[in-house]
Amino acid sequence: MKSHTVDRKIMWGDLDSLGIVFYPRFYEWMDASGHLFFEAIGLTIGDMWLRRKILFGLVETSCRYQRPGRYHDEIRITTHVDALTEKTATLKHSIADRSSGALLVDGYEKRICLDVSDPDNFRAMDIPDDIMAVLRDVMTG
């Protein structure tokens, strides 16, 4: 698996007064798709957070808006690992119209490996070898 896709439908509650998607929704969908991506490659929250006290926190996110999304449009969010460093993984997400294939938004989330064993003080850490192996594998396909 190199990329992972999630389909959804744009709902009334996602729209603003212009009848187009209110842009923070795109980030909500990217976040959700990132979680499903991690789950699909076996890096589950249950294992990572609850057992090992590791989470991927955020360094930076960004989106570029190409086309507005409208009421009940069917969209597809495609996620892949775009870059890896010792401590960070960058996920790229593209959000496209399912019928036309036209790109609505492309964005990324740069995430950093955190030791969250102390809930009041998260600390950056090197990505553990076994997790890095999975991420490298999925990045290179």
Taking the alpha carbons of 43, 46, 52, 54 in that order, is the dihedral positive or negative? positive
Alpha-carbon distance values, 78 to 3, 17, 26, 108 (Å): 6, 27, 13, 11
Of 59 and 134, the one with the shorter C-beta distance to its own copies is 59
Where b means 16+ CB within 10 Å and e means fewer, 38-50 reads beebebeeeebee
Integer Cα distance of 117 and 83 in angstroms: 26
Please tell me the count of residues contacting its own copies according to CB under 8 A. 37
Using CB under 8 A as the binding rule, whether residue 116 contacts its own copies is answered as yes
Retrieve residue 46's tokens.
Answer: 């249950």
Using CB under 8 A as the binding rule, whether residue 45 contacts its own copies is answered as yes
Using CB under 8 A as the binding rule, whether residue 102 contacts its own copies is answered as no
**Binding residue for its own copies (CB under 8 A) from 3, 5, 22, 80?**
22
**Binding residue for its own copies (CB under 8 A) from 41, 122, 134, 139?**
122
Binding site for its own copies (CB under 8 A): 9, 11-13, 15-19, 22-25, 27-28, 31-32, 35-36, 39, 45, 55, 57-65, 68, 71-72, 116, 119, 122
